[in-house]
Amino acid sequence: MGERNSKGSVAAPGIVTKAVLTWVLERLERGESVAMASVIEASGSVPGKPGARLALTPSGARFGTIGGAGLELKVENALKGMLNGGRQEVRKKGGKVETFVLYKDAKGEEATPLDSLCGGRVTVAMEVMDPMPHILIAGGGHVGRAVAIVCDTLGWSHSVFDVRSEYADGNRFPFASELHAGSVSEFLDGEDSESMARFSDVLLLGHDWAIDQEMLLGLMGSLEVDRRPRVGAIGSTVKWNAFRDSAMAAGIPEESVDSVRCPIGLDIGADSPEEIAIAVCAEIMALEKSVDSLD
């Protein structure tokens, strides 16, 4: 199925597919999950032909169409269900395929009848795509560099912030998506909660706890709990307690303070920067996949 352009003619299916997939990729880059339906087979009189696609996000943003009317409403509700509350089932099955018959009196069919008289038949594949982790490494020292290497191995994105320009450098981090060298205030002044959502996690790995604390207080004052990015800090319990006291004294809500993970990483006895990087990325992977054992 094509969509009509400004001159009234119908766009080629390939153009429509490219437009929808481009929109989906843009949303994923922003850190949003996307549910997408694709018509994979059609016969008879149907509004949506193979290649027609509809995509939507948990916030309600949508793009594309699989033909409109009762078919689109049914599929849209199924996509919403997969995004909201049906994620574990989606992960187990990898999505679902459903066939619809566009005839309200259809009987004896292994398909879902719709309130229509078209008489056609449409098979739709539905899937959910989650954004890959994009880690902001705040501190480009030994652990930060090791985290970057693990991210590269896993196919995750990473960006780097450091107050020292030589530690947020393209030679040191050749595959970084972004490199930020400057003060904490300069970085935070250029960001807000919406732009920070492109990161799945902010890892505070700085060489100076005062810098980490400045970043933490700045993030806690602007980010919303239970939204991207998650924040984690490397350090001891003593270090964390000192920060917690400072944050509470600064008027940061307790809920925001307690959402920070410190120390970061699964407890696997990690000592070296490389081992710590594995423990940290394993913890992020578990959080991404909502593993219940992380209590």
For residues 164 and 235, give the distance between their C-alpha atoms in angstroms, rounded to a whole number: 20
Whether residue 200 is predicted with pLDDT greater than 60 in this model: the reply is yes
Whether residue 9 is predicted with pLDDT greater than 60 in this model: the reply is no
- How large is the average pLDDT for residues 42-59? 85
| Mean pLDDT computed over every residue of the chain | 85
Report pLDDT for 101.
Answer: 80
For residues 163 and 139, give the distance between their C-alpha atoms in angstroms, rounded to a whole number: 8
Q: With bands split at pLDDT 50, 70 and 90, how would you rate the model's confidence at 204?
A: very high
What are the structure tokens assigned to 130, written together? 């989650």
For residues 102 and 44, give the distance between their C-alpha atoms in angstroms, rounded to a whole number: 9
Domains of the chain, earliest start first: 13-129 (no CATH), 134-288 (3.40.50.720)
pLDDT in tens, 78-130: 999 998 876 666 677 778 899 888 765 445 455 455 555 456 788 999 999 99
Between the CA of residue 163 and those of 108, 206, 240, what are the distances in Å? 68, 9, 21
Question: Residues 160, 80: contact at Cβ < 8 Å?
Answer: no
pLDDT in tens, 239-277: 888 888 888 888 888 888 889 999 999 999 999 999 999
pLDDT in tens, 101-112: 876 544 545 545
Whether residue 31 is predicted with pLDDT greater than 80 in this model: the reply is yes
Report pLDDT for 70.
Answer: 80
What are the structure tokens assigned to 19, written together? 């437009």
pLDDT in tens, 215-226: 999 998 888 777
Report pLDDT for 113.
Answer: 54
Report pLDDT for 116.
Answer: 54
Whether residue 292 is predicted with pLDDT greater than 70 in this model: the reply is no
Q: With bands split at pLDDT 50, 70 and 90, how would you rate the model's confidence at 199?
A: very high
